[in-house]
Structure 1
């Protein structure tokens, strides 16, 4: 068996990558390798750090981040006691608060979306098969109307900020109809590299992509939260967790089908905005290592954070490079 085959099989049990989330990162990495900026930001799907992507990532400038590093907090939690007993209770309460908020005007087509992000990743043991480094730029500027990228990109699931904003604004109130619309907006895979998903997992993945979009009208996000609570298998962690910036966050979770990990959508307990995402070990397990690879197996404990992304700031600005 050749080395590349071994590398591909090493994380064969990992869930299918989010093509919509990874497409911008692929382009930035390509630009970097072609002589662009040395630290291009990669979107935070933990599978970026899989062995299959290791060769490309290592070719770029490598920055190491640690889970639990210092960072700002969201601030005080909501005034009323927050009970994390059920996802429906949490998400419906969040929706009620969001529905009271006034929406800002939709950005102009010539404006930019600025985000600042912090990524943290589990560092593997010395000599293990894992990859503990990730290259990214915490500051990002993307045109609100990024039509050129949407039209020229190879990933059919890529959506511009404008497309997501308008699609979210038109979502129906009925949760079942809303979920169907979002699944259609972010379709499941149909290739060997992006296999079809079961409906519940497809819904949770697609809703996660919709929730992390910026900007999104408060009433649209409220409808999304209400529908998210109805996805089969969705849960809420019974205590606040820490995001990659060390802030408290509510974790809305679902175990990935056929995997040992769970995907978590993180929400601020202060204003119920999107705070970030995490992949966490749902159970104790040992990563399989192909026969012939001389590395010790990597072991994981239930509750261990594999990768985490925190959105520290997001804003609409008038020009690339401008910060709010």
Structure 2
């Protein structure tokens, strides 16, 4: 039986996920296919907890295992890069080193209101799902899948849209980051205020450290961020309870070696990973990895879905980011 047939059978009797549970996946898929990449992901608090139907769909349709690249022998410092020797012995060492490097960088000018943000994000799941849509159906759709997207830096219509309190435009995100305080505790408190936790239909309120990690993750997806602000964000990230760092570089969805800053999603038997470029310490993507083997029960008469430790449920690699003068330009 092929995976898509099995998926349909597993999903047939599953309860319909609510709006909050579906929002993150629907947002990513819609944005990618439509060729638009919002400045930040929608901030539904319950990205931490996946419904049965959502997990089965993600896993059965697009599960793949990423390669892990480990050093030949244990050592406190990782490979040498343009930024210096990588110390992946702890979050404080890795992110502190990144912050030290960023604080030495020249601050580029803020983008002009008429400029655009170009992003290229490799997402094998979305690409595969699009390719599985029959050609005759794709031809009738007024959208397509592309890893390339352009968003206006100054989007006043989006800024004034009060119906979506979670979304921040490129300019808003830049200025939020630039205005963050130096002290990690104060910085985290400010971000929890800017990106509020869920309530009511949008999911339960989060614990303090869960909330801090989510808010940091969302802001890190923004481009551009002033290097000094990014340095402060990394120092604050290292202080969040439960944050770790892999002691070796991993392979992302594009095949690059990157740093993985991790935090366990206890309720999901998985961990969230923020990927960081080991050369210039820019945001490089995100992953979600199974941390404990477990089964997800399906409807009566179907076999349960088995998830193994190390299975990758989500793997998105940002390979390019630039401020450009017009939509469609890449430099």
| Pair in the same fold by TM > 0.5 | yes
Residues 1:323 and 2:330 are matched in the alignment: yes
- Matching residue of 2:106: 102
More helix by share: 2
Per-residue Cα deviation, 1:155-212 (whole angstroms, up to 9, x for no partner):
3200001001001000001000000111111111112333211111111111011112
* In structure 1, C-alpha distance between the alignment counterparts of 2:230 and 2:13, rounded to whole Å: 42
SS at match of 1:81: strand
* In structure 2, C-alpha distance between the alignment counterparts of 1:48 and 1:213, rounded to whole Å: 24
* In structure 2, C-alpha distance between the alignment counterparts of 1:307 and 1:267, rounded to whole Å: 16
For 2:302, which of 272, 295, 300 is the aligned residue? 295
Aligned length: 291
* In structure 2, C-alpha distance between the alignment counterparts of 1:54 and 1:319, rounded to whole Å: 40
Q: Which segment is superposed worse, 257-266 or 91-100?
A: 257-266
Contact 1:76 1:270 in 2 (8 A): no
Summarize the Cα distance change of 1:138–1:262 in structure 2 as closer, same or farther, 3 Å threshold: same
- Matching residue of 1:6: 14
* In structure 1, C-alpha distance between the alignment counterparts of 2:145 and 2:288, rounded to whole Å: 18
Residues 1:51 and 2:70 are matched in the alignment: no
**TM-score of the two chains, using structure 1 as the length reference:** 0.77
Deviation at 1:297, TM superposition (A): 1.6
Contact 2:36 2:150 in 1 (8 A): no
- Matching residue of 2:320: 313
Residues 1:277 and 2:286 are matched in the alignment: yes
Residues 1:152 and 2:158 are matched in the alignment: no
* In structure 2, C-alpha distance between the alignment counterparts of 1:155 and 1:122, rounded to whole Å: 24
- Matching residue of 2:237: 228
Contact 1:65 1:133 in 2 (8 A): no
Per-residue Cα deviation, 1:29-82 (whole angstroms, up to 9, x for no partner):
8xx7xxxx6x66697989999735999x9xxxxx9796659xxxxx97346432
- Segments of structure 1 that go 5 or more residues without pairing to the other structure are 58-62, 70-74, 125-131
SS at match of 1:205: helix
- Matching residue of 1:114: 118
- Taking the TM superposition and a 5 Å limit, the aligned residue runs for 1:200-219 are 200-219=209-228
Deviation at 1:317, TM superposition (A): 1.0
* In structure 1, C-alpha distance between the alignment counterparts of 2:192 and 2:132, rounded to whole Å: 32
Alpha carbon RMSD of aligned pairs, Å? 3.9
Summarize the Cα distance change of 1:108–1:146 in structure 2 as closer, same or farther, 3 Å threshold: same
* In structure 2, C-alpha distance between the alignment counterparts of 1:238 and 1:122, rounded to whole Å: 29
Contact 1:68 1:245 in 2 (8 A): no
